[in-house]
């Protein structure tokens, strides 16, 4: 097994990150000058009002305000549609009808639909696992369409390495949602990891939050570890799923931010605050006339491997030194 290092990833100090964005703000202000006099309309689609989407959104708004786009310069047309296609499509139509000059989406599902639905309105996104596989952009460096933003992709191989270092599991359950491309991509990746590390994968399609809870309970009783994909239905029931898994002595691991704090054993997360700042910088540039297709997709640099001492104790597991030395212990 390769050494559990996190190249280019874990724990760049908050001081370094703060300085980076401070410098970015100074450069943007000096290059872009004074904000335009006309009020811009920015539409934000915060699907299901998920806490992680809300955190990214709030981070973005703070940077926009610091960049000179307060309420007098910018109207934010925020919507919280349900996770179904009809609700999301209606929100996107309302955004265009409201005269939005820029649409911002959070998560793979809303972003994929926005790419299909929007006619002439530029699109920015955040918390999208793999925008290339999603078909939203051609490459990260050169999006090739009127869409760009920040990706939340992390190296699943590193997460699985940490998992098997703690316990060499032979069976892994996966909760995903068919039709959510980010969730499907994570399912495909965990299957590849199963081939590499020698565990079998049992997957269940959670079509709604109620099914996610029931299937999570089922899988946690049948497998040694349960992987939660970024599916919205799964995310909405994550806490209840983790509780069921704990009762079944089943490990929970994920790339969804915040789950270790809720009782998952281990997680690998792209920082939400950083993603909000990255997409805000793009928004500032776009509102000053920069064409979105010329803006490269940004990757979060602050990636955190987290593990829970409490969850390990509940499962009668010991976190080995090779994991503990690289992870943030919760």
The residue segments making up the domain with residue 47 are 14-153+271-302
**In-domain check, residue 138:** yes
Residue pLDDT, tens place only, 138-160 = 999 999 989 999 999 999 999 99
Does 126 share its domain with 201? no
Within-domain flag for 221 = yes
User: Are 42 and 74 in contact, with CB atoms under 8 Å apart?
Assistant: yes
Residues 56 and 145 in one domain: yes
User: Is position 3 within any domain?
Assistant: no
Report the pLDDT value the prediction gives residue 32, as an integer from 0 to 100.
47
CATH of the domain at 202: 3.40.50.2300
What pLDDT is stored for residue 74 in this prediction? 95
Q: State whether 317 and 169 are in the same domain.
A: yes
- My answer on whether 24 and 58 are in the same domain is yes
- Check whether residue 136 and residue 173 sit in a common domain: no
* CB-CB contact of 293 with 146 (8 Å): yes
55 lies in the same domain as 178? no
Regarding beta strands 171-176 and 123-128, do their DSSP bridges make them parallel or antiparallel, or are they unpaired? unpaired
In a domain, 42, yes or no: yes
Residue 8 lies in a domain: no
Q: Tell me how far apart the alpha carbons of residues 241 and 114 are, in angstroms, rounded to a whole number.
A: 30
Judge whether 264 lies within some domain. Answer: yes
Is residue 6 domain-resident? no
Domain membership of residue 5 (yes or no) is no
Q: Is residue 42 helix, strand or coil?
A: strand
Tokens of 265: 């054993």
The whole-angstrom separation of Cα 266 and Cα 306 is 6
Q: How many domains does the chain have?
A: 2
Q: Identify whether residues 90 and 134 lie together within a single domain.
A: yes
pLDDT at 31: 43
pLDDT band for position 17 (cuts 50, 70, 90): low
Q: What is the pLDDT of residues 289-301, one digit of tens each?
A: 999 999 999 999 9
Q: Say if strands 251-254 and 266-270 run parallel, antiparallel, or are unpaired.
A: parallel
Q: Kindly state whether residues 61 and 126 are assigned to the same domain.
A: yes
Residue 275 and residue 262 share a domain: no
Residues 313 and 262 grouped into a single domain: yes
Is residue 265's pLDDT more than 60?
A: yes
Residue 5 pLDDT: 55
Q: Is 317:265 a contact under the CB 8 Å cutoff? A: yes
User: DSSP of 260-289, one letter per residue?
Assistant: GGGT-SEEEEE-HHHHHHHHHHHHHHHHTT
Residues 184 and 282 in one domain: no
Q: Which pLDDT score is estimated for 7?
A: 46
Give the model confidence (pLDDT) of 159-181 as tens digits: 999 999 999 999 999 999 998 88
Dihedral sign for Cα 220, 82, 155, 190, please.
positive
Give the per-residue pLDDT at 10: 45
Q: What is the mean pLDDT of residues 299-325?
A: 96
330: CB partners within 8 A, 6+ apart: 260, 261, 306, 307, 308, 309, 310
State the Cα–Cα distance between residues 130 and 22, nearest whole angstrom.
Answer: 28
For residue 12, pLDDT over 80 is answered with no
In terms of domains, do 99 and 178 share one? no
């Amino acid at each position: 097994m390769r050494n559990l290092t996190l190249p280019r990833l874990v724990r760049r100090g908050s001081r370094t990150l703060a300085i980076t964005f401070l410098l970015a703000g100074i450069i943007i202000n000096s290059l872009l000058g004074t904000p335009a006099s006309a009020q811009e309309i920015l539409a934000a689609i915060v699907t299901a009002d998920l806490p992680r989407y809300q955190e990214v959104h709030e981070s973005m708004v703070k940077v926009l305000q610091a960049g000179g786009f307060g309420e007098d310069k910018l109207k934010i047309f925020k919507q919280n549609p349900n996770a179904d296609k009809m609700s999301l499509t209606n929100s996107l139509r309302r955004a265009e009808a409201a005269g939005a000059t820029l649409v911002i989406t959070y998560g793979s599902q809303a972003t994929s639909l926005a790419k299909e639905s929007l006619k002439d309105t530029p699109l920015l996104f955040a918390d999208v696992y793999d925008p290339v596989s999603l078909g939203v952009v051609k490459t990260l460096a050169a999006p090739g369409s009127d869409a760009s933003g920040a990706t939340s992709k992390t190296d699943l191989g590193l997460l699985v390495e940490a998992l098997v270092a703690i316990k060499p599991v032979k069976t892994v359950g996966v909760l995903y949602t068919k039709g959510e491309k980010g969730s499907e991509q994570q399912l495909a990746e965990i299957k590849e990891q199963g081939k590499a590390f020698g565990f079998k994968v049992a997957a269940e399609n959670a079509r709604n939050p109620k099914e996610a809870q029931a299937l999570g309970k089922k899988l946690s009783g049948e497998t040694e570890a349960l992987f939660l994909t970024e599916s919205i239905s799964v995310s909405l029931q994550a806490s209840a799923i983790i509780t069921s898994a704990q009762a079944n002595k089943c490990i929970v691991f994920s790339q969804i931010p915040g789950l270790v704090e809720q009782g998952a054993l281990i997680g690998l997360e792209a920082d939400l605050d950083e993603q909000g700042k990255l997409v805000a910088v793009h928004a500032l540039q776009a509102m000053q006339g920069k064409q979105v297709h010329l803006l490269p997709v940004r990757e979060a640099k602050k990636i955190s491997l987290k593990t829970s001492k409490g969850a390990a104790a509940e499962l009668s597991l010991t976190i080995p030194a090779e994991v503990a030395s690289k992870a943030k212990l919760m």
